[in-house]
C-alpha cells in the first residue's frame, strides 16, 4: 500500500508573481501537474490505492480550480511553519501499514523509476531518503553520515557549521517511510532552529533514535530533483525537458532541423518521415501522419493530421483535423472545429472556424470562412467572407460540390450555394443559389466624367 503526499503550499516569493509557484508552467502545464502525473502512475496495482494528498496554502482556491479534484484530496496549511508542519496537516489520513511517500509540487521532473527504487527500500525497519551529490550544494540540506556510512541527520544550510557546509551529498526532500512511524514522529518535531520552522528532515534523527535504518537511493540525473524557485531555474528545467523530448522524437525517426529550437508542450504521436522546421510549438495532444512536413514558426495545438500533409511557415492550427495530402499556409489560421478533407488547400492569410471543407476544395487567399460546410472540389476566391454572425446569433453557410465563389464575395448566412453554382466576383449573396446557377449581386456602378481628385490644402 502506498500513500502519496505532495507539498504545494509555498508562495514562491522569488518568482515575483501573484501566481502560486506550483501553478507556474513547465512545457505548457503547471509544475504541480507534472508531479501529480508521475505520482498517479505509482502503485497502480494497489486495489486499496488512496487519493493523492496535496497540501496547499498560498492561492489554495486557485490551485483547486486549475488542477481539479479528480483522484486528489486537498489539505490546507494556513500558516507556513515548515515542511514538517505541512505533513502534519494530512497525518490523520495516512494508513499505518502503508508506505508514505513525500513529494514536492515544485520539483516537476522526478522520474517514476527513481521513486520506485526508493519505495523498494522501505520496510518496518528501514526508511528511505533520496539524496544526490552536487558540485555546488549551496542552499541544500547536507547529509550527515556516521563512520559506517549510515545517515544520521540532515543539517539545513542556515544551521550548518563550516565543516557541515563542505559536505556535497544533499537532501532532495523526497522520502518514504511507514505511515505509523511518520505519525509517531511528527509530534516530536521541534522548531528550535534559525527559521523557527518544523523541519521534516528532523525525522531522520528521530528514526535513528528509534533504531530505524535510513537507507538512501539516488536519481539518475540531478535535474530530476531540481526545484523551481526562480525564473532562471524555471527556464533551465524547460530547456532540459524540451531537449529530452526532442531526443525522443528523433529516436522515433523525426527530423528536427534544429532540436534546440523546438517546443513540445503536450503529447505528440508521429508517423514516418516527419520533418519539423525551427521555432515550431506543439501543444496539447497532437498526431502527425507519415510524410508530414511543418515549416518554420508553426503553432500546432490539439490537432490530428493525415499523411503527406504540408504546413507552411507562420501558420496557427488549433483543434483541427487535417486529411491526407492537405496543403496549408503560409500565414493560415485554422481555429477550433476545422476539418479538412483529402487534398484540401488553405492558402495564405485564410482564417477558418467550425468548418468542414471537402476533398480537393481550395480556399487560397485572404478569406474568412466560419460556420460553413464546403463540398468537394469547390473553389473559394480571394477575399471571400462568410458573414455568419448578426451580433447575437451564428448562422450556417452551405457551399456545394464544385461551386465557384468569385473573389471579394460576401455570403450572408444563412445561405446555401448549390453544387456547381457560381458567384460572381464582388457579390454580396443573401439568397440561396441553386445548382449550376450564376449569382451576381453587385451595386450599380456609376462613372463620373471629368471628376477632380481632392487636392491637399
User: Is the same domain home to 138 and 198?
Assistant: yes
Query: Distance between CA atoms of 157 and 140, rounded to whole angstroms?
Result: 6
Q: Give the residue from 225, 246, 273 where a domain finishes.
A: 225
HSE-up of residue 242 (Cα within 13 Å, Cβ side): 23
193, 225, 257: which is the final residue of a domain? Answer: 225
How far from chain centre, in Å, is Cα 449?
Answer: 63
Q: What is the largest CA-CA distance in the chain?
A: 107
Tens-binned pLDDT, residue by residue, of the chain (457 aa): 899 999 999 888 999 999 999 999 999 999 999 999 999 999 765 666 678 999 999 999 999 999 999 999 999 999 889 999 999 999 999 999 999 999 999 999 999 999 999 999 999 999 999 999 988 888 888 898 887 777 888 888 888 898 889 899 998 989 999 999 999 999 999 988 778 889 898 898 899 899 999 999 999 889 999 999 999 999 999 999 999 999 999 999 999 999 999 999 999 999 999 999 999 999 999 999 999 999 999 999 999 999 999 999 999 999 999 999 999 999 999 999 999 999 999 999 999 999 999 999 999 999 999 999 999 999 999 999 999 998 899 999 999 999 999 999 999 999 999 999 999 999 999 999 999 999 999 888 788 888 887 788 7
- Please, which residues have CB within 8 angstroms of residue 457's CB and are 6 or more apart in sequence? none
Instruction: Indicate if 211 and 281 belong to the same structural domain.
Output: no
**pLDDT of the residue at 47:** 62
The domain in which residue 426 lies consists of 231-439
Query: In this structure, is residue 304 part of a structural domain?
Result: yes
390 and 418 part of one domain: yes
- Whether 199 and 55 share a structural domain: yes
Q: Is 179 in the same domain as 235?
A: no
**Angle in degrees, CA 272, 276, 282, rounded to 5:** 100
- Is 60 domain-assigned? yes
What integer pLDDT is reported at residue 48 of this predicted model? 65
Contact 126, 99 (CB under 8 A): no
Cα 175–181–184 angle (5° rounding)?
120
Closest CA to 101 of 172, 4, 181: 4
What pLDDT sits at residue 159?
A: 84
Cβ neighbours for 303, distance < 8 A, ≥ 6 positions apart: 286, 287, 317, 318, 319, 320, 321, 322, 334
Read off the DSSP letter of residue 148: T
Please name every residue paired with 4 in a beta bridge, in sequence order, or none if there are none.
101
Provide the pLDDT for residue 8.
96
User: Which residue stretches of 25-100 are H helix?
Assistant: 31-39, 60-67, 83-88
Which pLDDT score is estimated for 358? Answer: 98
- Mark whether 239 and 210 lie in a shared domain: no
Tally of helices (H runs) and strands (E runs) in the chain: 8, 37
Cis ω for the linkage preceding 414 (within 30 of 0)? yes
Is 187 a domain residue?
Answer: yes
**Of 26, 383, 377, 456, whose CA–CA distance to 227 is shortest?**
26
Residues in the chain: 457
445 assigned to some structural domain: no
Q: How many domains does the chain have?
A: 2
Distance CA 155, CA 407 (A): 75
Residue 198 lies in a domain: yes
Both 193 and 70 in a single domain?
yes
- Helix orientation angle between 31-39 and 60-67, rounded to the nearest 10 degrees: 60
Looking at residue 260, what DSSP letter applies?
Answer: G
CB atoms near residue 242 (< 10 Å): 19
Q: Are residues 215 and 268 in the same domain?
A: no
- Asked whether 119 and 214 are in contact (CB, 8 A), the reply is no
Question: How many Å apart are CA 305 and CA 328, to the nearest integer?
Answer: 12
CATH at residue 351: 2.160.10.10
Phi, psi of 217 (to 5 degrees): -135, 170
C-beta separation of 407 from 426 below 8 A: yes
Residues 78 and 212 in one domain: yes
The CATH code of the domain that includes 196 is 3.90.550.10
Regarding whether 296 and 216 lie in a shared domain, the answer is no
Beta pairing, strands 333-334 & 362-365: unpaired
Number of other residues whose CB lies within 10 A of the CB of residue 187: 9
- Among 171, 38, 175, smallest CA distance to 110 is for 38
Positions marked catalytic? 365
18 with 115, same domain: the answer is: yes
Question: In this structure, are 209 and 355 located in the same domain?
Answer: no
**At a CB cut-off of 8 Å and minimum separation 6, what does 353 contact?**
335, 336, 337, 338, 369, 370, 371
CB 309 within 8 A of CB 300: no
What pLDDT is attached to residue 445?
78
Between CA 213 and CA 124 the distance in angstroms is 10
The answer to whether residue 160 is domain-embedded is yes
For the entire predicted model, the pTM comes to 0.87
C-beta separation of 396 from 413 below 8 A: yes
How many alpha carbons fall within 13 Å on the CB side of residue 117? 13
Amino acid at each position: 500500500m502506498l500513500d502519496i503526499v505532495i507539498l504545494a503550499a509555498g508562495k514562491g516569493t522569488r518568482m515575483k508573481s501573484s501566481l502560486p509557484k506550483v501553478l507556474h508552467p513547465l512545457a505548457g502545464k503547471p509544475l504541480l501537474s507534472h508531479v501529480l502525473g508521475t505520482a498517479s502512475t505509482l502503485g497502480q496495482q494497489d486495489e486499496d490505492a488512496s487519493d493523492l494528498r496535496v497540501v496547499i496554502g498560498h492561492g489554495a482556491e486557485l490551485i483547486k480550480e486549475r488542477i481539479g479534484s479528480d483522484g486528489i484530496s486537498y489539505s490546507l496549511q494556513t500558516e507556513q511553519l515548515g515542511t514538517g508542519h505541512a505533513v502534519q496537516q494530512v497525518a490523520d489520513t495516512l494508513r499505518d501499514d502503508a508506505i508514505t511517500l513525500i513529494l514536492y509540487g515544485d520539483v516537476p521532473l522526478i522520474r517514476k523509476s527513481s521513486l520506485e527504487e526508493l519505495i523498494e527500500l522501505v520496510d518496518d525497519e528501514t526508511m528511505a531518503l533520496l539524496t544526490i551529490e552536487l558540485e555546488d550544494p549551496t542552499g541544500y540540506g547536507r547529509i550527515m553520515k556516521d563512520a559506517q556510512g549510515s545517515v544520521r541527520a540532515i543539517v539545513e544550510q542556515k544551521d550548518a557549521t563550516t565543516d557541515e557546509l563542505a559536505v556535497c551529498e544533499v537532501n532532495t526532500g523526497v522520502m518514504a517511510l511507514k505511515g505509523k512511524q511518520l505519525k509517531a514522529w511528527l509530534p516530536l518535531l521541534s522548531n528550535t532552529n534559525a527559521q523557527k520552522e518544523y523541519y521534516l528532515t528532523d525525522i531522520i534523527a528521530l528514526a535513528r533514535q528509534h533504531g530505524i535504518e535510513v537507507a538512501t537511493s539516488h536519481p539518475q540525473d540531478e535535474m530530476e530533483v531540481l526545484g523551481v524557485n526562480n525564473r532562471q531555474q524555471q527556464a533551465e528545467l524547460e530547456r532540459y525537458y524540451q531537449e529530452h523530448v526532442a531526443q525522443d522524437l528523433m529516436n522515433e525517426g523525426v527530423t528536427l532541423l534544429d532540436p534546440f529550437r523546438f517546443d513540445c508542450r503536450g503529447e505528440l504521436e508521429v508517423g514516418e518521415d516527419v520533418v519539423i522546421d525551427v521555432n515550431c510549438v506543439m501543444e496539447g495532444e497532437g498526431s502527425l501522419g507519415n510524410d508530414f512536413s511543418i515549416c518554420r514558426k508553426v503553432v500546432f495545438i490539439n490537432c490530428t493530421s493525415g499523411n503527406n500533409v504540408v504546413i507552411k511557415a507562420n501558420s496557427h492550427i488549433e483543434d483541427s483535423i487535417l486529411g491526407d495530402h492537405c496543403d496549408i499556409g503560409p500565414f493560415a489560421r485554422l481555429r477550433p472545429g476545422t476539418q479538412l478533407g483529402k487534398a484540401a488547400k488553405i492558402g495564405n492569410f485564410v482564417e477558418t472556424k467550425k468548418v468542414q471543407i471537402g476533398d480537393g476544395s481550395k480556399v487560397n487567399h485572404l478569406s474568412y470562412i466560419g460556420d460553413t460546410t464546403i463540398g468537394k472540389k469547390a473553389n473559394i476566391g480571394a477575399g471571400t467572407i462568410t458573414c455568419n454572425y448578426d451580433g447575437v446569433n451564428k448562422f450556417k453557410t452551405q457551399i456545394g460540390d464544385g461551386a465557384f465563389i468569385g473573389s471579394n464575395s460576401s455570403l450572408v448566412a444563412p445561405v446555401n450555394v448549390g453544387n456547381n453554382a457560381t458567384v460572381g466576383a464582388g457579390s454580396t449573396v443573401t439568397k440561396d443559389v441553386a445548382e449550376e446557377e450564376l449569382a451576381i449581386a453587385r451595386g450599380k456602378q456609376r462613372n463620373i466624367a471629368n471628376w477632380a481628385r481632392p487636392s491637399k490644402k
